[in-house]
Structure 1
Amino acid sequence: MAVSAKLVKELREKTGAGMMDCKKALDATNGDLEAAFDWLREKGIAKAAKKADRIAAEGLTAFHIDGNTAAVVEVNSETDFVAKNQEFVELVNTIAQAVCANKPADVEAALKLNVNGEDLDTLIKEKTGKIGEKLTLRRIAVVEKNDNEVFGAYSHMGGSVTALVKIADSTEEKARDVAMHVAAQAPKYITEEDIPADVRERELNVLKTQAEEENAKAAKPKPANILERIISGRLQKNFKEVCLVDQEFVKDPDQTVAKYLGKGKVEAMIRFKVGEGIEKKEEDFAAEVAAQMKAAD
């Protein structure tokens, strides 16, 4: 049957797919709008599968807070251009809301969540097909609090970095300030007590070796007891630089985060930076364009 322009337009408005794709879908399904919609969904998923070997190291992070539950997510794309796409931004926020509402244990469980009648995994694959880049839900975090605790959250540069903290006996204003500090300063631990024993041992060995080598080259070597105090001092200095409560508060370097909080105690800290830890693939843009032009010929 002949497919009308009106039907093509309707399918295009419903799906956001290209005009020719909509026409092909309607031709393949004899003008059945719902079947054509499913056909496009299937093609979107198939298209996503072909992109599975690409590296998605750009994207956005986002948070969502609802009562005593908060969630942080990272969704990756292949380029930072897509990260500015309004449809992608809405997808990321939808995922953050779904994770906050359902509290999945991990990404695998999150991908099975029902969002508007379909699972999250399918939704992401459909958006991959529509947007044209591999999209990946990389990681999630869910934090719950009691009534005497407050959440503080902050997203930097529209979502390149998102930080979330849970603080007992404090205010939302102070919690947001601390979240901003976490986003800016990237502390690894909340307090020194949180530093694992193997990390402590490794750092101590490095500093001990450095100090002993320096001492061996010194014109007047220091005695063992003095050298031990030097190593201990350096160790404490290094630990203070990576522990949230001991860091100089970003909004007032004259005081530490702990001093700024007073009686407030940081119970949880999450910090997601887009692409953190992902090895980005080096692309030769000129060669890629040349290859595309050759393929078009």
Structure 2
Amino acid sequence: MAEITAKMVADLRASTGLGMMECKKALVEAEGNMEKAEEILRIKSGAKAGKLAGRTAAEGVLACAIEGKTGALVEVNCETDFVAKDAGFVAFAQSVAKTAATQKPATVEELSALVEDERKAVIAKLGENMSVRRFQLIETSGNLVAYIHGSLATEGVLVEYTGSEDVARKIGMHIVAAKPQCVREDQVDAATVEKERHIYTEQAVASGKPAEIAAKMVEGRIKKFLAEVSLNGQAFVMNPDQTVAQFAKENNTEILSFVRYKVGDGIEKKAVDYAAEVAAAAKV
């Protein structure tokens, strides 16, 4: 019998959309024959899930669950915005978030395995491929609050804080709108800062300014950049006359950390020419 490699399992999972353990068992049963293993999975798990697995799932929703001192923000994808609005799909996403918060899986694969039976049932009902794309947990000794923006639930944030829940929620709304990279300036990635410094330095030199003045220009622009990308330094969207840090401090609140997601970030959506598809189908 051929050796069952991790790549074989991954390839089968990619082509069927089913769980890793199911794929591995099918490959063992098929003695390493990929085509036979896929057939076994389609017979056992349903043809619909197998046939749909190759389609890009770039729509979807965010869901958040807070269980005690643990919170989870998850992104669950589907193929169309129509299904993304379906109550059954939204309920599945909420269930995934609760599973993440209570079971605390270490990886997306672990979380996906925990909800696999439920996922297949929703696929069978709604007729679209769907997947758990990503999630993040925050475990804290402080407090947690979530904000999911709008009825489409495509942008959201989970915030760790001390102090006022109402203030933290308002800052969560700011985070979704202003998209900071981190809470404090000293948390900005050093490589990113150096890249910006290099750009500003080259611009200052090209302007013909004396070295001393150019150096001050660079430092000023770096300071402005750090304020723009860190939460505490940003002008608060509900009152631009004060920074987020000032708003939090005057309300005895501190933001410790956050995780912000937007559905589909980084996914390359496939352009579908429906007219061409219909024309091609007509020729068959």
TM-score norm. by structure 2 comes to 0.80
Q: Out of 222, 225, 247, which is 1:238 matched to?
A: 225
| Residue 291 (structure 1) aligned with residue 280 (structure 2) | yes
Question: 1:42, CA displacement in angstroms?
Answer: 5.8
Which consecutive unaligned segments of at least 5 residues does structure 1 have? 1-40, 114-119, 216-221
> Closer, same or farther in 2 for the Cα pair 1:67/1:111, shift >3 Å?
same
Question: 2:149 corresponds to which residue?
Answer: 156
Matches within 5 A, 1:164-175: 164-168=158-162, 170-175=163-168
> 1:255 & 1:68 partners in 2: Cα distance?
31
Question: 1:105 corresponds to which residue?
Answer: 106
| Residue 127 (structure 1) aligned with residue 122 (structure 2) | yes
SS in 2 for 1:166: strand
Question: 1:240, CA displacement in angstroms?
Answer: 1.0
Q: Is the 8 A contact 2:145 2:159 kept in 1?
A: yes
- 1:1-40 alpha-carbon deviations (Å, 9 max, x no partner): xxxxxxxxxxxxxxxxxxxxxxxxxxxxxxxxxxxxxxxx
Question: 2:187 corresponds to which residue?
Answer: 194
Question: 1:45, CA displacement in angstroms?
Answer: 4.0
> 2:207 & 2:225 partners in 1: Cα distance?
18
Q: What amino acid is the match of 1:125?
A: K
Q: What amino acid is the match of 1:206?
A: I
Q: Is the 8 A contact 1:249 1:260 kept in 2?
A: yes
Q: Out of 240, 244, 250, which is 1:257 matched to?
A: 244
Question: 1:150, CA displacement in angstroms?
Answer: 2.0
Count of matched residue pairs: 240
Q: What amino acid is the match of 1:272?
A: Y
SS in 2 for 1:207: helix
> Closer, same or farther in 2 for the Cα pair 1:56/1:230, shift >3 Å?
same
> 1:122 & 1:291 partners in 2: Cα distance?
35
Identity across the alignment (%) = 41
Question: 1:85, CA displacement in angstroms?
Answer: 0.8
Q: Out of 204, 209, 213, which is 1:226 matched to?
A: 213
Q: Is the 8 A contact 1:150 1:171 kept in 2?
A: no
Matches within 5 A, 1:8-19: none
> Closer, same or farther in 2 for the Cα pair 1:157/1:289, shift >3 Å?
farther
| Residue 57 (structure 1) aligned with residue 58 (structure 2) | yes
Q: Is the 8 A contact 1:45 1:126 kept in 2?
A: no
Question: 1:224, CA displacement in angstroms?
Answer: 0.5
Which consecutive unaligned segments of at least 5 residues does structure 2 have? 1-41
Q: What amino acid is the match of 2:237?
A: V
> 2:222 & 2:104 partners in 1: Cα distance?
39
Question: 1:204, CA displacement in angstroms?
Answer: 0.8
Question: 1:241, CA displacement in angstroms?
Answer: 0.9
Over alpha carbons, which structure has the higher Rg? 1
> Closer, same or farther in 2 for the Cα pair 1:128/1:44, shift >3 Å?
farther
Question: 1:99, CA displacement in angstroms?
Answer: 0.9
Q: What amino acid is the match of 1:185?
A: A
> 1:112 & 1:134 partners in 2: Cα distance?
16
> Closer, same or farther in 2 for the Cα pair 1:42/1:98, shift >3 Å?
farther
Q: Is the 8 A contact 1:211 1:227 kept in 2?
A: yes
> 1:81 & 1:182 partners in 2: Cα distance?
27
SS in 2 for 1:123: helix
> 2:54 & 2:165 partners in 1: Cα distance?
43
Q: What amino acid is the match of 1:257?
A: V
TM-score norm. by structure 1 comes to 0.76
Question: 2:264 corresponds to which residue?
Answer: 275
